[in-house]
Amino acid sequence: MAIAAKRVLIVGCGYVGTALGRRLAGEGHAVIGLRRSPPDPTAVDDSGIQPWIGDLTRRDSLDSLPGPFDWVINTVSSSRGGPAEYRAVYRDGMRHLLDWMRAHPPSAFAYTSSTSVYGQTSGDWVDESSPTIPSTETGEILLEAERLILDAAAAGTVPGRILRVAGIYGPGRGHLLRQFLRGEARIHGTGARWINMIHRDDAAGALIAALARGRPGELYNAVDDEPVSQLEFLTWLSERLQRPLPPVASEEELATRKRGLTHKRVRNQKLRSETGWNPSYPTFREGYAAELKR
Ligand SMILES: NC(=O)c1ccc[n+]([C@@H]2O[C@H](COP(=O)([O-])OP(=O)(O)OC[C@H]3O[C@@H](n4cnc5c(N)ncnc54)[C@H](OP(=O)(O)O)[C@@H]3O)[C@@H](O)[C@H]2O)c1
């Protein structure tokens, strides 16, 4: 069903934000995309998004925004920084945006948190009611940002919904695929660890579904239908690309690997049933088959 034309603000208009904005602009909505860096004057921008320069870590940077907006979306990312950057961008930035929205209330607000707030290492399924005990400090900071939204929704000031997004891949993005192609992929132990993923365009679709049909103050996991073990994923890539299966990681390689790795399967049932979201790439197979054809 078509959505009536809206004024939309996307804060942190990067990989997912641009895909979302392009889609909304294509459907006739007026979209402003805020980010720190100015557009590249040599690049062709056919996205239909009006660029807006601002820095979410500075409250006064939002003052000149041409609000109000019907929908506001926060897809800002600290670009893999450490705890200090996370605090500035996710927690303090969220405070600034919520403060600005209290004076310019949208009809719906959505934020892309992360499935990293689930620290489970048991391999079990997790849903939105599962405990959130992140295994990293940065995961804790994302939870702090979530709490700010939940408090504002409970107070009836900003109708925010939170998407807990799994590992994003898609055109030009795909850390695991690139690692495999460079010959740097390694099987960790038996390769049993679960990987949870979502295609960029399905993340954008999940945001639209949550804004249009989700409920304020609610959390939704945004992940495809099928968690995949590391071994199954690498085996699939090996077969598709007709390359050998990567070797098992050595003790040294395991010692240097990222701390705080979790082992869990994330369920998307709530997002599907409450908002009608239906991913175009239900598993990594459809999504990566599209990437391998490029
Ligand atoms: N990537 C994943 O696998 C993953 C997984 C779970 C959740 N998420 C979440 O999903 C969302 C979208 O991720 P993404 O991959 O699309 O991120 P992205 O491509 O890194 O884009 C983030 C955008 O935020 C902007 N930005 C950074 N700091 C800013 C600031 N202080 N003020 C204003 N804009 C700022 C960046 O613009 P400039 O370049 O101009 O600074 C960039 O346009 C993020 O909230 C991320 O935390 C991502």
pLDDT at 259: 59
* DSSP-derived 3-state class of residue 222: strand
Cα-to-centroid distance, 95 and ligand 1 (Å): 17
Cα-to-centroid distance, 17 and ligand 1 (Å): 8
Whole-prediction pTM: 0.97
Identify residue 233 by its one-letter amino acid code: F
pLDDT surpassing 90 at residue 2: no
Segment (H or E) for 33:
strand 30-35
State the pLDDT confidence band at 284, using cuts at 50, 70 and 90: very high
Is the bond preceding 68 in cis, omega lying within 30 degrees of 0?
yes
pLDDT surpassing 80 at residue 241: yes
Q: What is the pLDDT of residues 163-210, one digit of tens each?
A: 999 999 999 998 999 999 999 999 999 999 999 999 999 999 999 999
Neighbours of 178 (CB within 10 A): 12
Neighbours of 293 (CB within 10 A): 6
Asked whether the beta carbons of 176 and 125 are under 8 A apart, the reply is no
Q: Does ligand 1 come within 6 angstroms of the Cβ of 168? A: yes
Neighbours of 103 (CB within 10 A): 11
State the pLDDT confidence band at 255, using cuts at 50, 70 and 90: confident
What share of the chain has pLDDT > 90, as a percent? 88
Q: Which atom of ligand 1 is nearest to the CA of 13?
A: 43
State the pLDDT confidence band at 60, using cuts at 50, 70 and 90: very high
Cα-to-centroid distance, 78 and ligand 1 (Å): 6
pLDDT at 3: 78
Q: What is the pLDDT of residues 201-237, one digit of tens each?
A: 999 999 999 999 999 999 999 999 999 999 999 999 9
Name the average pLDDT for the chain. Answer: 95
Cα-to-centroid distance, 75 and ligand 1 (Å): 6
Strands 167-169 and 197-199: parallel
Q: Does ligand 1 come within 6 angstroms of the Cβ of 38? A: no
pLDDT at 261: 83
**pLDDT (average), residues 270-276:** 98
Q: Does ligand 1 come within 6 angstroms of the Cβ of 162? A: no
Q: Does ligand 1 come within 6 angstroms of the Cβ of 56? A: yes
Q: What is the pLDDT of residues 75-122, one digit of tens each?
A: 999 987 899 999 999 999 999 999 999 999 999 999 999 999 999 999
pLDDT at 260: 63
Of 3.90.75.20, 3.40.50.720, 3.40.50.1220, 3.40.50.300, the CATH number of 7-170+199-223 is: 3.40.50.720
**pLDDT (average), residues 29-43:** 94
CA 185 to centroid of chain Cα atoms? 23
